[in-house]
Amino acid sequence: MLKEKTAVITGASRGIGRAIALKMAQNGANVAIIYAGNENAAAETRKEAQSFGVKAETYQCNVADFLESKTTCEKIIADFGTVDVLVNNAGIFKDNLLLRMSETDFDDVVGVNLKGAFNFTKHLSRPIMKSGSGRIINITSVSGMMGNPGQANYAAAKAGLIGLTKTIAKELAGRNVTCNAIAPGFIETDMTASLSAETKENINSTVSLKRMGSADEIANAALFLASDLSSYITGEVIKVDGGLYI
């Protein structure tokens, strides 16, 4: 589906980002794996991606830093020559009730989750436009659509990402570039693996399908949006949440 395409995925060393990178590699895309600090996990993702016979490289980058992101994007272009797909997935949590949330915790989450997407889209928009059928995919969250106690910073960043998605979709449509967002619900990750059985049961009770989703199910949606199958879809937010928010 993505043969000879180049995909850039931020936050790709583990979790949802890793699943997306491997799904795209499995379907023929060369992948640029962006990670914050876990070099070993990034190297493992690269090795597995390369097993599909594609080119895969890793790049350490603080996506919230505008100039560092610019330098990283320049390296990607030098290594791959072009970029067809960008997945803005990098995200962090620093949960707390609003009355207890520090300014630093607010700024850090907005910096990575929202500004990081702006930075990479800004720096890669020209090569994506040159590709002729570029795809930009932003990983938002149902928290950004419905709010969530203890996540004022995270929900605000993810809601902002939806607005960014729709604006980019309008601005780049003339160059045949689509921009869409995926809003996951509760997904099985390293973080949720540590939850107690009771907590998991309580979470599942709020989901229509009565279970958490998998990172691979998010990756399937990303693959669809990156492929020609979604060529007439732009500016959309696709919930992959098992019916959590209906």
The per-residue pLDDT for 195 is 78
245 among known catalytic residues? no
Domain-embedded: residue 82: yes
Domain-embedded: residue 1: no
In the chain the beta strands, taken as DSSP E runs, fall at 6-9, 30-35, 56-60, 85-88, 135-139, 178-184, 187-188, 213-214, 237-240
Report pLDDT digits (tens) over 119-174: 999 999 999 999 999 999 999 999 999 999 999 999 999 999 999 999 999 999 99
Domain-embedded: residue 121: yes
Report pLDDT digits (tens) over 43-94: 999 999 999 999 999 999 999 999 999 999 999 999 999 999 999 999 999 9
Work out how many domains the chain is built from and give that number.
1
Q: How far is Cα 213 from Cα 192, in angstroms, rounded to an integer?
A: 11
* pLDDT of 191 above 80: no
Name residues whose C-beta falls within 8 Å of residue 48's C-beta, 6 or more positions apart in sequence.
Answer: 22, 25
Domain-embedded: residue 100: yes
Task: Give the Cα-Cα-Cα angle 149, 118, 135 (nearest 5 degrees).
Answer: 105
* pLDDT of 22 above 90: yes
**High-pLDDT (> 70) share of the chain, %:** 100
Averaged pLDDT for residues 23-36: 98
Domain-embedded: residue 243: no
Domain-embedded: residue 244: no
* pLDDT of 33 above 80: yes
Domain of residue 158 covers: 6-238
Torsion angle of C-alpha atoms 89, 95, 97, 101, degrees rounded to 10: -90
Residue 55: which CATH number?
3.40.50.720
Domain-embedded: residue 245: no
Domain-embedded: residue 150: yes
Of 59, 154, 232, 245, the active-site residue reads 154
pLDDT interval class at 225 (50, 70, 90): very high
pLDDT interval class at 196 (50, 70, 90): confident
| Global model pTM greater than 0.85 | yes
Supply φ then ψ for residue 58, to 5 degrees. -110, 150
- Radius of gyration of the CA atoms of the chain, in A: 17
**Does residue 82 contact residue 6 with C-beta atoms inside 8 Å?**
yes
Report pLDDT digits (tens) over 96-108: 999 999 999 999 9
